[in-house]
A and B are shown apart, each in its own frame.
Chain A
Amino acid sequence: MRLIEELNQKYNSVSIIGLAKNAGKTVTLNYLIEEAYDSTIKLGLTSTGRDGERLDLVTETEKPTIFVGVNTIIATAKSILEMGDAGLEILETTEFTSPLGNIVLCRVKAEGNVQLAGPSNASDTLLVKEKMIDYGADLVLIDGAIDRKAVASPRITDACIIATGAVLSRDIKKVVSQTAYYASIFLLPGVEDLELLNIKFQLNRTCIIDDEYRLNYPEMKTSLGHGRALASMTDERTRYIYLSGAVTTSMLKDLTFGKLNYTILIDDGTQVFSDYYNYKNLKKKGLRLEVLNPILVEAITVNPIAPFGYSFPSDELVRMIEEAVGPIKVVDVLGGGV
């Protein structure tokens, strides 16, 4: 079955997340748009960055254009509406602002190219997504900007596609290990402890949870930079530390020492800001990280070509990534093979 049909059967919204700039998010988006083209699936499209402009602002290389079919719904900024040549019917000018002007929702009347620049923050993106569904979109695709991941949160989209590519490193092994690392963060296991799941909806700010599921709230506006203070509040009865915000390497280090009798609990993988090496070391020391809301990674797309003029054999890169990530579909969006 085509990827787009699978996605459409299971989900209302899917985010496309790049592991780096030029990892091929827009190519992935176009791949899905093309798959949908001769189907009856009505797509809703937006971007948390900017898509469809001809030149990349940083590398000055050419970027793919976005060609959309009739009945697609798009959410984009007012000031760039005229920059495409698709025929658009404006459905609504929303109150959501973007630096390029208010976000407008349009229905494509005559196929053609469009530029996409939606709201740049996740909470507005969520509301825009809901509006597109209200206007009849079967499946909303949200392209994340550059390497930004926030819209992959299950709070915002039902599932995600990770776009990776040669651009990550000139060393194919590093491309694979980095991709596998980020995928593993997105795929962090959901907590299975039923008693904890019972109190899931009480968890809205950082706290320490003991073996009788009592919550102890530290007095801090944010846990960022207060890893040590949090660690000092734990004792042998501590079972979980729930973190409601960003989880950095230094936070994980502060909380990973001695005989670890607790699991670190977060909402989802988009909260983690660590790197491959530190994370690997901490895992060795016994770090346990679980999530309340697992992210569904539906596929990993691979762009075997880097914009700076090197590339890897597509088959090999796809195979190595498949081996490293397990049962997730890996697709070379340039070759088109599944």
Chain B
Amino acid sequence: MSLGKVDLTKIKPYGDTLNDGKMQLSFTLPVPKGDEADEAAKQLARKMGLSEASVVHSHDLGVGYTFFIMYGNCSHTVDYSVIEVPKVDLEFMDKKGVEQYIEENIKRDVVIIGACTGSDAHTVGIDAIMNMKGFDGHYGLERYKGIEAINLGSQVANEELVAKAIALNADAVLVSQVVTQKDVHIPNLTQLVEMMEAEGIRDKIILVAGGPRLSHELAQELGYDAGFGPGSFANHVATFVVKQMVERKLI
């Protein structure tokens, strides 16, 4: 390994010397395995800005498609020094911390409703946040003392979610959107916000969206209070919700 001084205004991938740009990528092309397929992969890599692109592995996927692993040197750089990513800017409490915070500051059960909405049937994400057993060693909201968590499951219509939130006097509504093809999640997410406005409850509820293609920044633009992407756990959302309740005096 040779470590030189990194110029943060022009970073590029590291292979075994600084700024060699080395990277590995894998993909499938819808053509049969062969020299022509390898050449197609190389041309594609070159168009992507990789020099000295080489196919280090390719195999036949059986249906006339070929899978590739390639190495190449990236010619592009990125200015790291000017990057700013808006994040939910909080010290996340753990489960115990959240429970204690509720007991001391809210002094009643916090009602949180979750759903995967619209035509989306991917429940694993919202389950990871809400279900008792949680995800990756982090218990879900159902297990939290002081939180009443109601998971409505998948393909929930926005109107049903809003009706339920009103019926149960929800403090927070959590929405999961995993399918983002043709950006179907965008109008679905904004419709929920507008329905809450029409029902007069938008400013009384903490509204959170989550999913693999949702950033905090996008969620905010859509009218949500926060957005949580990959790698989120129940305690992150719980911290955000209970702190917001106190900050916005929604106790």
Which residues of B179-220 are within 8 A (CB) of A? 183, 186-187, 190-191, 193-195, 197-200, 202-203, 215-220
Which residues of B39-93 are within 8 A (CB) of A? 86
A79 to B225, CA, bound (A): 15
Which residues of A sit under 8 angstroms from B190, Cβ to Cβ? 145-148
* Pairwise interchain contact B194-A222, C-beta atoms closer than 8 A: no
Min CB distance A84 to B, Å, is 14
Which residues of A sit under 8 angstroms from B222, Cβ to Cβ? 49, 145-146
Which of A117-125, A186-194, A282-290 is near enough to bind chain B?
A: A117-125
* Pairwise interchain contact B223-A148, C-beta atoms closer than 8 A: yes
B251 interface residue (CB < 8 Å to A): no
Interface of A is mostly: loop
Min CB distance B195 to A, Å, is 5
A48 to B197, CA, bound (A): 13
A245 interface residue (CB < 8 Å to B): yes
Q: Are A145 and B221 CB-contacts (below 8 A) given A97-B248, A121-B202, A221-B167?
A: yes
Which residues of A sit under 8 angstroms from B247, Cβ to Cβ? 97
B163 interface residue (CB < 8 Å to A): yes
* Pairwise interchain contact A20-B226, C-beta atoms closer than 8 A: no
Which residues of A sit under 8 angstroms from B150, Cβ to Cβ? none
* Pairwise interchain contact B194-A149, C-beta atoms closer than 8 A: yes
A147 to B195, CA, bound (A): 13
B162 interface residue (CB < 8 Å to A): yes
Which residues of B sit under 8 angstroms from A146, Cβ to Cβ? 186-187, 190, 221-223
* Pairwise interchain contact B223-A123, C-beta atoms closer than 8 A: no
* Pairwise interchain contact B186-A99, C-beta atoms closer than 8 A: no
Which residues of B sit under 8 angstroms from A147, Cβ to Cβ? 186-187, 190
Q: Are A271 and B198 CB-contacts (below 8 A) given A221-B167, A222-B163?
A: yes
* Pairwise interchain contact A273-B198, C-beta atoms closer than 8 A: yes
A320 to B154, CA, bound (A): 41
B20 interface residue (CB < 8 Å to A): no
Task: Please give the number of chain A residues whose Cβ is less than 8 angstroms from any Cβ of chain B in the complex.
Answer: 40
A244 to B166, CA, bound (A): 14
| Per-residue B-contact encoding for A21-59, CB less than 8 Å = 1, 0 else | 100000000000000000000000000111000000111
Which residues of B sit under 8 angstroms from A148, Cβ to Cβ? 190, 193-194, 223
* Pairwise interchain contact B226-A99, C-beta atoms closer than 8 A: yes
A224 interface residue (CB < 8 Å to B): yes
Interface of B is mostly: helix
A246 interface residue (CB < 8 Å to B): yes
Q: Which of A20, A21, A222, A270 has the most CB of B within 10 A?
A: A222
Q: Which of A147, A150, A224 has the most CB of B within 10 A?
A: A224
Which residues of B sit under 8 angstroms from A246, Cβ to Cβ? 159, 162, 195, 198-199
* Pairwise interchain contact B197-A224, C-beta atoms closer than 8 A: no
| Per-residue B-contact encoding for A220-233, CB less than 8 Å = 1, 0 else | 01101110000000
Which residues of B sit under 8 angstroms from A251, Cβ to Cβ? 159
Q: Are A99 and B220 CB-contacts (below 8 A) given A124-B203, A225-B159?
A: yes
B7 interface residue (CB < 8 Å to A): no
* Pairwise interchain contact B86-A123, C-beta atoms closer than 8 A: no
* Pairwise interchain contact A99-B216, C-beta atoms closer than 8 A: yes
A260 interface residue (CB < 8 Å to B): no
* Pairwise interchain contact A57-B203, C-beta atoms closer than 8 A: no
A226 to B222, CA, bound (A): 28
Q: Are A50 and B220 CB-contacts (below 8 A) given A100-B86, A246-B159?
A: yes
Which residue of the partner chain A has the closest CB to B244?
Answer: A97
A311 interface residue (CB < 8 Å to B): no
B103 interface residue (CB < 8 Å to A): no
* Pairwise interchain contact A58-B186, C-beta atoms closer than 8 A: yes
* Pairwise interchain contact B218-A222, C-beta atoms closer than 8 A: no
Which residue of the partner chain A has the closest CB to B191?
Answer: A273
* Pairwise interchain contact A222-B186, C-beta atoms closer than 8 A: no
Q: Are A224 and B202 CB-contacts (below 8 A) given A50-B221, A100-B86?
A: no
Q: Specify which of B159, B186, B221, B223 is in contact with A273 (CB 8 Å cutoff).
A: B159
Q: Are A100 and B200 CB-contacts (below 8 A) given A145-B190, A224-B166, A225-B160?
A: no
* Pairwise interchain contact B186-A121, C-beta atoms closer than 8 A: no
* Pairwise interchain contact A245-B198, C-beta atoms closer than 8 A: yes
* Pairwise interchain contact B221-A122, C-beta atoms closer than 8 A: no
A151 to B21, CA, bound (A): 49
A48 to B202, CA, bound (A): 13
Min CB distance A192 to B, Å, is 24
Q: Specify which of B163, B216, B217 is in contact with A225 (CB 8 Å cutoff).
A: B163
Which residues of B sit under 8 angstroms from A261, Cβ to Cβ? none
Which residues of B sit under 8 angstroms from A57, Cβ to Cβ? 215, 217-218, 221
* Pairwise interchain contact A122-B218, C-beta atoms closer than 8 A: no
A113 interface residue (CB < 8 Å to B): no
Q: Which of B167, B200, B215 has the most CB of A within 10 A?
A: B200
* Pairwise interchain contact A150-B194, C-beta atoms closer than 8 A: yes
* Pairwise interchain contact B248-A224, C-beta atoms closer than 8 A: no
Which residues of A sit under 8 angstroms from B202, Cβ to Cβ? 121-123, 150
Which residues of A143-191 are within 8 A (CB) of B? 145-150
28 A-B pairs within 8 Å (CB atoms) are namely: A20-B187, A21-B187, A49-B222, A50-B221, A57-B217, A58-B183, A97-B248, A99-B225, A100-B220, A120-B225, A121-B197, A123-B202, A145-B221, A147-B186, A148-B193, A148-B194, A149-B194, A221-B166, A222-B167, A222-B199, A224-B162, A224-B199, A244-B200, A245-B198, A246-B198, A270-B194, A271-B198, A273-B194
Q: Which 4 A-B pairs have the closest CB atoms?
A: A150-B197, A246-B198, A224-B163, A225-B163
